[in-house]
Amino acid sequence: MTSTRKVFLTGAASGVAAISSASLWSDIAFAADTPGSLGAKTTSGMMDPKELQDAVDAARSKHNVPGVSAAFYADGQIVLASSGITNVSTGIAATQDTLMHIGSITKLFTTTLVMQLVDDGKVALDRPVVEFMPEFHVGDSEATRTITVGELLNHTSGIDANLLPDIGHDKETIENTVARMRSAPQLHAPERARSYCNAGMVIAGYLCQQLRGKSWYDLIKERIFAPLAMQQAVVLPEDAVLYRLSVGHFLNPATKAPVRTPLAYLPIGYAPAGSTAMMTASDLMTFGRMHMAKGVGPNGTRIFSEANALRMREPFGHVMGPQAFDCTIGWQRSPGGLLHHSGGGPGIVSMLVTHPASQTAIVVLTNADYGVSVLADLVKPFLKTRLGLDTFAPAPKALANQTIDPAPYVGIYENSSVVHEIAAKDGRLTWTAYGRASYDRGVRTERLPTKELAAAGDGRFLTSDTTFIKFVDPDSSGKSRYLQQDVWLYRRT
């Protein structure tokens, strides 16, 4: 994974990519297969402890990731493995007891809390948020009136406040973050499109706080961790420090060595969207199994109703949005009945994949922002050999004829986090991108070098050998209203 896109993700817009990281699914698709190390050895699956340990060790060392923890579940059996170290600055070993960031997988926890409110008749997914929380307010008054509870959870609210700049510990509260969204613009009208939306999930977490009269942190502890007996799972940094824990790493481009992140978390006010949660792979698997069992934990405790567990999995009507990003209430979907979520943070990537039909699930947690290669090595062969699923679409190819009319595409496309400038030069498109704010302290927000784009047809242009942007939704003059990249839409301004 040395693509330009990866440079972009770890550069200008790292923070944005990090908390979202829904893009990991497509990243996995593009990660090279690794037949030499794994493909041949894993035909029996990875449900043998030694085999999983070998696979995790091999993937970790091959990709120079400091630490990995994994849990595989199939045929009613769970297999765990961990490898490497928690932190290159301390050298402490990563164990199966080590708490690691789960990032945006937290969104499934927040969604579960909302579905408990649905169970209790305190909210309805198809009703406007203002009905349950009259103080709810975003920049657009129409959107304020119409955004529904369900739209907060399925990334169709259109609220454009992906990650606001960190305002410091005492100010970074969930309540203050929601208050700061009172002036957030709309990326699109509610329900009309789909673009990965941290803001909706923070507001959903706040809704739970307001209706339950308890903090989101306590709700997660009392309504999910405790009843599922997840004893190595935390949502607060002051709880995390009690445990063996992992922190993120970036690759120093000069030395090719992993460097510990200077920052443990993205802004803490985004906790319900996934900035603070950490747990063992084993505990995350407990949560995943609860969902596969339609709301009942492995310990027999029902967390929420079967009806609402099933409702979370249902697809909704097609709206404009990135093709690789098909989501339900809280979950992301892939063909073959896969429901999954990935997570990021400063220098971490993680993934939970479930296949309810076969009661099979995978958790992989890594402490490097380039850990996606480890995910690919572990997830792809398992899905293929175990479930016969090969759901990763290949990358588009550049067209032979690169003659295009740039007019429909040229312009500035942006959301609250990232700006893309598309220009024309000698009949080709050029692309310049930059982030609006830095979340990783050392990360740059200056403009990246302008790059020439290769046309791949259907409004798609390659930004590297394997990654692309796509122009969609032409207006009456034929000019695109939106640019799509990964799980995000960017609006032409």
Instruction: Write out the residues near other proteins by the rule CB under 8 A.
Output: 87, 89-90, 92, 97, 168-171, 173-175, 215, 217-218, 236-245, 247, 260-265, 268
At its nearest, how many Å lie between other proteins and the CB of residue 224? 17
Output 26 or 215, the one with its CB closest to other proteins: 215
Output 204 or 362, the one with its CB closest to other proteins: 204
Output 241 or 310, the one with its CB closest to other proteins: 241
What is the longest distance spanned by two Cα atoms in the chain?
Answer: 65
> Collapsing DSSP states into helix, strand and coil, what is residue 167?
coil
Sign of CA dihedral 100, 101, 107, 111: positive
Count CB atoms within 10 A of the CB of residue 237.
15
Output 89 or 183, the one with its CB closest to other proteins: 89
| Phi, psi at 115, each rounded to 5° | -65, -30
Output 165 or 478, the one with its CB closest to other proteins: 165
Angle between helices 106-119 and 306-313 (to 10 degrees): 130
At its nearest, how many Å lie between other proteins and the CB of residue 369? 15
At its nearest, how many Å lie between other proteins and the CB of residue 173? 4
Element (H, E) at 146: helix 141-146
Q: What is the 3-class SS of 405-456, one letter each residue?
A: CCCCCCEEEECCCEEEEEEEECCEEEEEEEECCCCCCCCCCCCCCCEEEEEE
Count CB atoms within 10 A of the CB of residue 123.
23
At its nearest, how many Å lie between other proteins and the CB of residue 202? 12
Burial 410-437 (b: 16+ CB within 10 A, else e): bbebbbbbbbbbbeeeeebbbbbbbbbb
At its nearest, how many Å lie between other proteins and the CB of residue 262? 8
Interatomic CA distance for residues 176 and 271, integer angstroms: 12
Output 86 or 354, the one with its CB closest to other proteins: 86
At its nearest, how many Å lie between other proteins and the CB of residue 180? 14
Output 251 or 264, the one with its CB closest to other proteins: 264
Count CB atoms within 10 A of the CB of residue 101.
33
At its nearest, how many Å lie between other proteins and the CB of residue 19? 15
